[in-house]
Amino acid sequence: MIPSVLPTYNRAPLTFVKGEGAWLTEADGRRFLDLGAGIAVNALGHAHPALVNALTEQAHALWHVSNLYHIPQQQALADKLVEHTFADTVFFTNSGTESCELAVKMARKYFYDKDQPERVEIITFDGSFHGRSSAGIAAAGSEKMTKGFGPLLPGFVHVTFGDLDGVTNAITDKTAAIMIEPVQGEGGIRPVPDAELKALRQICDDNGLLLILDEVQCGVGRTGKLFAHEWAGITPDIMMVAKGIGGGFPLGAVLATEDAASGMTAGTHGSTYGGNPLGCAVGCAVIDQVATPAFLEGVNRKAGMLRQKLEGLIAEHPEVFEEVRGTGLMLGLKCKALNIDMVNAGYDNEVITVPAADNVIRLLPPLTLTEDDIAQAVIRLDKAAAQVEESMASAQDTPE
């Protein structure tokens, strides 16, 4: 019989009932160090007092009004994002997937309104992930995500990750935009080198294309800048945001320049919940915390410490790990052992990591992680790796 919850997830046998900072408490009382943060969602950890206050204060005042009316919390969050980024304007969504939908619509409408309705194609990259909607899966294009869900939304052209010539060759008079994650998350923590992001910006400028950055996973302080593209010294035309911006409250956003957003006039797009008072009150509290030099400096300092310790861990367990990659507190351990074995051994040793493609385990801890948490992370990952080593050794000893 089908379970009452549609069985689309492979869930670990864990049930968390409470969270504080970087720690989660399981129903049986065990405390787990959370290096996954809900896949880069709990940017400020669990139950951060500023977020709890923002949410409860707003809950006492007003939960929801329609976008038929003015929403001061939404205005405040949009103003903060415009102040701190390249963007001139912001639309609020509830998730990364919805941000992808709007990014695609915005790019197409831009060219439609410029009397170039044939320009509908968006160049994307293998290994990318942009959500699970019809546009999101067509954008990513992988068989794993698209099989059985056809006919797919047309208009996406897939290029090999890192292949700039491939991008240039893929441009035709139908091309509207290039869409890319500055650091691929689901794809296995694959950062796009700064020089390549710069080159993509240049290609867009040379060909009159829009550059859409998907910062759903790598944005909101995760790489040590408020948004990852800042490291490359470029700006996009459109940017997709979600996850960290709500700190655990479902919230997303599309940020855009005035020009890129010019087609999105009244009535062209909307969302019942997007930008509601609860979500935006929390979003304001998140941005107030994260968008400060001191906070971002802290992320960079802790990222440096964690990365250095992970290098040591790899040296200790060369059979289990191959390399550490990523940037800021968006790190991946490329495994030699099966990544899922390492994730499971982590559960046994009360540390949470997240698997990704390319046999990687992701470390996406709360950005508020402490130095003690980092020390604990390494102790627990070390034990988990030793456990994986033992099972690899005993598997080798076992005759076929």
Ligand X SMILES: Cc1ncc(COP(=O)(O)O)c(C=O)c1O
- Give residues in contact with ligand X (CB under 6 A): 39, 95-97, 100, 129-131, 181, 185-186, 214, 216-217, 242
Nearest distance, CB of residue 217 and ligand X, angstroms: 4
Nearest distance, CB of residue 193 and ligand X, angstroms: 18
Nearest distance, CB of residue 182 and ligand X, angstroms: 9
Is 33 or 216 the residue whose CB approaches ligand X more closely?
A: 216
Is 45 or 96 the residue whose CB approaches ligand X more closely?
A: 96
Nearest distance, CB of residue 96 and ligand X, angstroms: 2
Nearest distance, CB of residue 92 and ligand X, angstroms: 13
Could you identify the residue written with the tokens 């960079």?
300
Is 119 or 130 the residue whose CB approaches ligand X more closely?
A: 130
The first and second tokens of residue 234, run together, are: 């470029």
Residue number of the CB atom closest to ligand X: 96
Nearest distance, CB of residue 370 and ligand X, angstroms: 26
- Residue of 280, 305, 279 lying closest to 363 (CA atoms): 305
For 149-160, give one letter per residue: b (16+ CB within 10 A) or e. eeeeeebbbbbe
Check if the beta carbon of residue 66 is closer than 8 Å to that of residue 272.
yes
Is 245 or 290 the residue whose CB approaches ligand X more closely?
A: 245
Which residue stretches of the chain are H helix? 37-40, 49-61, 72-84, 96-113, 134-140, 143-146, 164-170, 194-207, 277-290, 293-316, 339-348, 371-397
Distance in angstroms (rounded) separating the CA atoms of residues 271 and 252: 11
Is 100 or 351 the residue whose CB approaches ligand X more closely?
A: 100
Query: Exposed, middle or buried, 252 (CB in 10 Å: 0-12/13-18/19+)?
Result: buried
Nearest distance, CB of residue 388 and ligand X, angstroms: 26
Is 45 or 244 the residue whose CB approaches ligand X more closely?
A: 244
Identify the DSSP state of 247.
Answer: B
Is 96 or 277 the residue whose CB approaches ligand X more closely?
A: 96
Identify the DSSP state of 130.
Answer: -
Asked if omega into 151 is within 30° of 0 (cis), the reply is yes
